């Protein structure tokens, strides 16, 4: 069979991205675990035009909640052409009934154990409606099909070494989506990290781990990093703040080429951290933790969320200065989003605070889909945009780059310069995160899909 794997996307900025930095691993991983007798193509709607008039026998779509409207529009368009369309990913896992309205079959949870069966059923005309995936043991996973990535992505080598996370933050689906904590054999990870068939030196040099929490099992991460030293790569990952209390690990991270760590700091409010069940974060330790990591020349990227119940406009805007004070190199600023399958969704639903008239386009991390407690939805959006504009003003972004000049190692400085420059450039040309309330039906008029699909992406969701 010919299979088209599509990663659906809806632009999150007014004029789209000026540059597409890192690709998802999902499509190229699914392509790699597809039995070899089938032909696979991978399309990323973020950068590729999607061809409805494809000769593929099977269309497989992956998407997050924020991109569900685009995925459904594609499904409608493909099915009109008589194609069989299947889907998987976090949104499908938690919204099965709704997804089944649009797709011939869905895969819930992790796909490794059911994807080959789905393909063989589809080839034999025996497709079932639902394939319930189970947590994969992560043994013998092949190298992602990097050869199928479009050239437009700047970084290419995305890798997953582990799955799962032992924490249970209230806004996160990982504990239920990827239960338990599982590890790939170190030799498999090294094989992928050493994959060098890319045209540009930085694509060979940079290894970006798309793990939930790579450093959590110390014996494993120590072994992996020790073995990575001879590869002489630059690598980045997401990790918990507790790494800052482990100087030996930090030294090993430095020795093995770590240039950036993403920490989910989320908030500067004690009550908000308690609401988030983020027990691993201690506000009093933020500065020291960031300093310990930066002392190794490693850039600290960090996520912050606006919209906790204790937030008001000022507390949100204040984060622009607070994150500068603790020494963050690259901030990622989002709005609280009640994803299905999370504790926060259940709380807000019980309190009748989900804004049911807002479609999935509001679930892109930059819009408001629930009624905040101390302020209203418009005030939350405005406060977030003020925070975003202040944080990425040339003055603040410039200060962060300059600070890195004297502290960060070469790769980390490049990363900080590139990412602060990227967001600051958006700020200068007013390429702000899209306000979905200003779009007809919350649909993005500049998304990179043909016009016909754009119109159908305004489809109402089933009740």
Which positions touch ligand B12 (CB under 6 A)?
A: 24-26, 29-30, 60-62, 64-66, 86-91, 107, 110-112, 115, 160, 172-174, 177-178, 210, 212, 334, 339, 364-365
Smallest gap, in angstroms, from Cβ of residue 235 to ligand SF4? Answer: 18
Smallest gap, in angstroms, from Cβ of residue 331 to ligand B12? Answer: 12
**Residue 132 — φ and ψ, nearest 5°?**
-90, 105
Smallest gap, in angstroms, from Cβ of residue 210 to ligand B12? Answer: 4
Smallest gap, in angstroms, from Cβ of residue 351 to ligand SF4? Answer: 22
For ligand SF4, the closer of residues 169 and 383 by Cβ is: 169
Smallest gap, in angstroms, from Cβ of residue 98 to ligand B12? Answer: 12
Binding stretches for ligand SF4 (CB under 6 A): 165, 167-169, 172, 174-175, 212-213, 240, 264
SS (H, E, C) the chain: CEEEEEECCCCCECCCCCCECCCCCHHHHHHHCCCCCCEEEEEECCCCCCCCCCCCCEEEEECCHHHHHHHHHHHHHHHHCCCEEEEECHHHHHCHHHHHCCCCEEEECCCCCCHHHHHHHHHCCCCCCEEECCCCCCCCCCCCCHHHCCCCECCCCEECCEECCCCCCCCCCHHHHCCCCEECCHHHHHHHHCCCCCCCHHHHHEEEECCCCCCCCHHHHHHHHHHHHHHCCEEEEEECHHHHHCHHHHHHHHHCCEEEEEEEEECCCHHHHHHCCCCCCCHHHHHHHHHHHHCCCCEEEEEEEECCCCCCHHHHHHHHHHHHHCCCCEEEEEECCCCCCCHHHHHHHHCCCECCCCCHHHHCCCCCCECCCCCCHHHHHHHHHHHHHHHCCHHHHHHHHHHHHCCCCHHHHHHHHHHHHHHHHHHHCCCCECCHHHCHHHCCCCCCCCHHHHHHCCCCCCC
For ligand B12, the closer of residues 174 and 292 by Cβ is: 174
For ligand SF4, the closer of residues 239 and 434 by Cβ is: 239
Residue 213: contacted member of ligand B12, ligand SF4, none (CB under 5 to 8 Å, by partner type): ligand SF4
Residue 87: contacted member of ligand SF4, ligand B12, none (CB under 5 to 8 Å, by partner type): ligand B12
Residue 11: contacted member of ligand B12, ligand SF4, none (CB under 5 to 8 Å, by partner type): none
Smallest gap, in angstroms, from Cβ of residue 49 to ligand SF4? Answer: 33
Smallest gap, in angstroms, from Cβ of residue 216 to ligand SF4? Answer: 9
Residue 175: contacted member of ligand SF4, ligand B12, none (CB under 5 to 8 Å, by partner type): ligand SF4
For ligand SF4, the closer of residues 68 and 169 by Cβ is: 169
Residue 168: contacted member of ligand SF4, ligand B12, none (CB under 5 to 8 Å, by partner type): ligand SF4
For ligand SF4, the closer of residues 262 and 425 by Cβ is: 262
For ligand SF4, the closer of residues 343 and 448 by Cβ is: 343
For ligand SF4, the closer of residues 167 and 195 by Cβ is: 167
For ligand B12, the closer of residues 178 and 407 by Cβ is: 178
**Residue 201 — φ and ψ, nearest 5°?**
-60, -40
Residue 329: contacted member of ligand SF4, ligand B12, none (CB under 5 to 8 Å, by partner type): none
Residue 275: contacted member of ligand B12, ligand SF4, none (CB under 5 to 8 Å, by partner type): none
Residue 235: contacted member of ligand SF4, ligand B12, none (CB under 5 to 8 Å, by partner type): none
Smallest gap, in angstroms, from Cβ of residue 203 to ligand B12? Answer: 17
Residue 364: contacted member of ligand B12, ligand SF4, none (CB under 5 to 8 Å, by partner type): ligand B12
Angle in degrees, CA 433, 439, 442, rounded to 5: 90
Smallest gap, in angstroms, from Cβ of residue 168 to ligand B12? Answer: 11
Contact by Cβ (8 Å): 216, 241? no
């Amino acid at each position: 069979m010919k299979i088209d794997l599509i990663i659906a996307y809806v632009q999150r900025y007014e004029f789209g991205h000026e540059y597409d930095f890192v690709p998802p691993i999902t499509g190229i991983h699914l392509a790699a675990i597809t039995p070899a007798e089938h032909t696979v193509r991978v399309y990323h709607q973020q950068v590729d035009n999607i061809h409805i008039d494809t000769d593929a026998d099977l269309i497989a779509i992956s998407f997050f909640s924020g991109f569900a409207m685009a995925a459904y529009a594609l499904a409608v368009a493909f099915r009109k052409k008589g194609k069989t369309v299947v889907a998987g990913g976090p949104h499908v896992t938690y919204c099965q009934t709704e997804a089944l309205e649009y797709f011939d079959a869905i895969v819930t949870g992790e796909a490794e154990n059911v994807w080959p069966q789905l393909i063989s059923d589809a080839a034999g005309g025996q497709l079932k409606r639902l394939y319930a995936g189970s947590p994969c043991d992560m043994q013998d996973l092949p190298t992602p099909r990097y050869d199928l990535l479009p050239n437009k992505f700047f970084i290419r080598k995305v890798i997953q070494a582990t799955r799962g996370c032992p924490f249970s933050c209230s806004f996160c689906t990982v504990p239920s989506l990827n239960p338990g904590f599982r590890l790939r054999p170190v030799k498999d990870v090294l094989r992928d990290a050493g994959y060098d068939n890319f045209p540009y030196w930085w694509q060979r040099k940079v290894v970006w781990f798309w793990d939930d929490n790579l450093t959590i099992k110390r014996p494993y991460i120590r072994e992996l990093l020790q073995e990575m030293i001879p590869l002489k790569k630059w690598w980045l990952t997401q990790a918990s703040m507790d790494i800052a209390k482990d100087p030996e690990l930090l030294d090993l991270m430095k020795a093995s080429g770590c240039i950036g760590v993403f920490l989910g700091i989320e908030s500067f409010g004690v009550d908000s951290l308690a609401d988030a069940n983020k027990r691993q974060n201690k506000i009093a330790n933020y500065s020291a933790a960031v300093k310990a990591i930066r002392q190794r020349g490693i850039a600290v990227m960090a996520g912050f969320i606006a919209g906790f119940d204790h937030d008001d406009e000022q507390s949100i805007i204040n984060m622009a200065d607070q994150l500068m004070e603790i020494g963050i190199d690259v901030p990622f600023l989002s709005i609280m989003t009640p994803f299905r399958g999370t504790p926060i969704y259940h709380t807000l639903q019980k309190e009748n605070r989900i804004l049911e008239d807002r479609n999935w386009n509001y679930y892109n991390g930059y819009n408001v889909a629930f009624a905040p407690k101390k302020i209203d939805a418009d005030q939350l959006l405005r406060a977030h945009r003020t925070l975003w504009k202040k944080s990425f003003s040339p003055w603040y972004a410039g200060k962060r780059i300059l600070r890195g000049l004297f502290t960060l190692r070469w790769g980390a400085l490049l990363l900080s310069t590139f990412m602060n420059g990227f967001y600051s450039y958006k700020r200068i040309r007013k390429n702000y995160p899209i306000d979905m309330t200003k779009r007809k039906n919350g649909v993005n008029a500049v998304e990179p899909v043909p016009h016909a699909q754009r119109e159908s992406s305004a489809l109402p969701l089933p009740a």
